[in-house]
Structure 1
Amino acid sequence: MPRNVLITAGAGHIGQELLPLLQSLEETRVILPTTNASRLKASLPPHSEPQSNPATFIAEEGSLTDPAWFQGLLEKYEVETVFLCLTTEDELFTTLNCLDCMARSKTVKHLIYLSACYDFASTECAQWILRNCSSGHVLVKILTEQKLVYGNLPFSWSVIRPTLFFINDLRSKHSMIENSVYDEPLSEQGVSRVAPSDIALAIKNVIIDESGKWNGRHISIGSKKVYKGSEIADIWSKALGKRIEMYPATEEGFRRFETEMGSKKNSAWGRDMRLMVELFAKEPFGMTEKEYLEQVELLGKEPEDYEAWVQKTVTTANW
């Protein structure tokens, strides 16, 4: 029987890295819910090597915000494994509805949930975040992880906890070129950085694992080093051959960041993103040594190097 896997956000940063990895799996059906099936189909990777029973990609047009449609999709394809990646303003409703649909479908055996690199399942950590942060797309992960731990759900789960994506830096590309400014206020507390390709590899390795080793586990993905804001500015300065200044992690810097992020989407999202970076200014955003070693075990290698990525990006991209 084929392996039936449903992947959300197939056209996103992680999805673009994950789908080529799943292409190598034989006797696998990859179900891709999307609001634009034709666009997603056009972006699917071509088969690079001959396979006797290559993975099949099936794009289904609809919305994850429609529980009946999502549950019907799970049942139609008898989906066994779901990768759930959601970052939207209706993330809370959609996430909880998806969990309920998975439980009602009676087909799903395992969930891989994309969270963030905080110990949201810990009462102590959850209380600290609730005291120090009001970012909706952060706080929803507390409730979701607590639901996974205490919800008596009829499927097993693994939680992937990435740190701050390398590619977030590309949001500052224009500002660095035109104004010599990295326009997201990252503080001197420091943040770990992660390549979406490593997140994708972790997800793929959990999908193919048949031992159950990663069931009920929370796996952080990212660099061992936490990079201070000034260090990130120095890395980009060296790569670009000119001085790059970091937006200050001050009221003025946070206000400017909120305004700019709000202009790209809406004011509510701008405020939510501001609240997230203000949280990073309260303590380092990274992982323990134990968590780092667990990551290496899951990936089967060391994670990608952030500084090497910056240099390669400047060298190969049209800067």
Structure 2
Amino acid sequence: MTILVIGGTGTIGSQVLAYLDGQGGEVRVLTRAPDTARLPAGTVPVKGDLSDIDSVRAAMDGVDTLFLLAPNAADELTQAMLTLNVAREAGVKGIVYLSVFKGEEYADVPHFIGKYAVERMIADCDLPATVLRPAYFFQNDVRQKDALLTQGLYASPVGTKGISMVDTRDIGEAAAPLPRETYELVGPDGLTGAAIAAIWSEILDRPIRYGGDDLDTMEQRLRAFAPAWQAYDLKLMFRRYQQDGATATAAQIDRLTTLLGHPPRSYRDFAHAVASEWTAP
């Protein structure tokens, strides 16, 4: 069996590769820089880019299973749809597509509704695909290290409605092709800004306060290292989190538990592990 992972050098992709390690077969990873990409031993780097359709066709040759983790790019929708068309023409037998939790509901958030459009293509073309819909990642909060440790602040403006954040390790474990299935990948708790601050207060043994819901400041901060369109896109996402929340149902959590073979990991356990790394001598 030959497996192609697109997005294998990123946060989620690395967890997918860790899950695939030792599963057998050839694992290819599409990358712009095969000579410098940091990949697990035994994986095969393949030079390519989703914006280069010829490289995608070459990488897809002889592939049985495709893991598609499209980048958060301005043309993400086009890249994902072209890649799935190439997979169909290449006779790929199983596809895992990483979508997003609440994609069909957050119609004013570009990278959410774009992923849902890809889901529509998968359904309309009857592609043999497993669709995974992860919520906001725990691991995004690793970026909060400086604010937490030096300012006593949890600065991510997640609001008061609650988000069923998910551990990326659970996403990696769930990334197995189960044709024509859709799973919400969520955590066990509906986390608010105040609840997350309280968890960090307990774990760090110091007062941590929630920084509030100021989205304009967040957008300007993001623009220091991200394109303006992406900063605004993320601002729109957080606006919907604040307005509507993104909490999972008990049935969705139970279904994921069955898929994983264990309950989804908790934010508290994630925070404990990260804090131990931060404070290790």
| Normalised-by-shorter TM-score class | over 0.9
1:49 maps to which residue? Answer: none
Mapped to 2, the partners of 1:14 and 1:245 lie a distance apart of: 29
Alignment equivalent of 1:96, drawn from 73, 81, 85: 81
8 Å CA contact 1:224–1:286 kept in 2: the answer is: no
TM norm structure 2: 0.94
Distance apart, 1:222 and its partner CA: 1.9
Alignment equivalent of 2:39, drawn from 41, 44, 47: 44
Counterpart of 2:40 in 1: which secondary structure?
coil
Mapped to 2, the partners of 1:283 and 1:114 lie a distance apart of: 22
Mapped to 2, the partners of 1:288 and 1:215 lie a distance apart of: 23
2:153 maps to which residue? Answer: 181
Mapped to 2, the partners of 1:174 and 1:316 lie a distance apart of: 14
1:223 maps to which residue? Answer: 187
**Which residue identity is paired with 2:50?**
L
Mapped to 1, the partners of 2:43 and 2:106 lie a distance apart of: 39
Identity, % of aligned pairs?
A: 23
Alignment equivalent of 1:311, drawn from 255, 272, 275: 272
Q: Which moved more, 1:181-190 or 1:16-25?
A: 16-25
Alignment equivalent of 1:143, drawn from 106, 117, 122: 117
Q: CA RMSD in A?
A: 1.6
Mapped to 2, the partners of 1:81 and 1:66 lie a distance apart of: 20
Confirm whether residue 244 of structure 1 aligns to residue 244 of structure 2: no
Mapped to 1, the partners of 2:74 and 2:150 lie a distance apart of: 31
8 Å CA contact 1:193–1:226 kept in 2: the answer is: yes
8 Å CA contact 2:162–2:245 kept in 1: the answer is: yes
8 Å CA contact 1:263–1:270 kept in 2: the answer is: no
8 Å CA contact 2:154–2:193 kept in 1: the answer is: no
Distance apart, 1:318 and its partner CA: 4.4
Structure possessing the higher radius of gyration over alpha carbons? 1
Structure 1: give runs of 5+ residues left out of the alignment. 47-55, 121-125, 208-213
Confirm whether residue 234 of structure 1 aligns to residue 198 of structure 2: yes
Counterpart of 2:106 in 1: which secondary structure?
helix
Mapped to 1, the partners of 2:255 and 2:247 lie a distance apart of: 14
Counterpart of 1:188 in 2: which secondary structure?
coil
2:27 maps to which residue? Answer: 30
8 Å CA contact 2:30–2:48 kept in 1: the answer is: yes
Alignment equivalent of 1:62, drawn from 40, 48, 69: 48
Mapped to 1, the partners of 2:211 and 2:246 lie a distance apart of: 18
Mapped to 1, the partners of 2:18 and 2:81 lie a distance apart of: 29
Distance apart, 1:91 and its partner CA: 0.7
Distance apart, 1:168 and its partner CA: 0.9
**Which residue identity is paired with 2:52?**
D
**Which residue identity is paired with 1:7?**
V
8 Å CA contact 1:117–1:287 kept in 2: the answer is: no
Counterpart of 1:191 in 2: which secondary structure?
coil
TM norm structure 1: 0.83
Counterpart of 2:259 in 1: which secondary structure?
helix
8 Å CA contact 2:142–2:274 kept in 1: the answer is: no
Mapped to 2, the partners of 1:311 and 1:68 lie a distance apart of: 45
The runs of at least 4 aligned residues of structure 1 exceeding 4 Å deviation read none
1:51 maps to which residue? Answer: none
8 Å CA contact 1:186–1:247 kept in 2: the answer is: no
Distance apart, 1:177 and its partner CA: 2.2
Q: Deviations over 1:121-157 (max 9, x none)?
A: xxxxx3x432xx2x2211201211111112x24x301
**Which residue identity is paired with 1:275?**
L
Structure 2: give runs of 5+ residues left out of the alignment. none
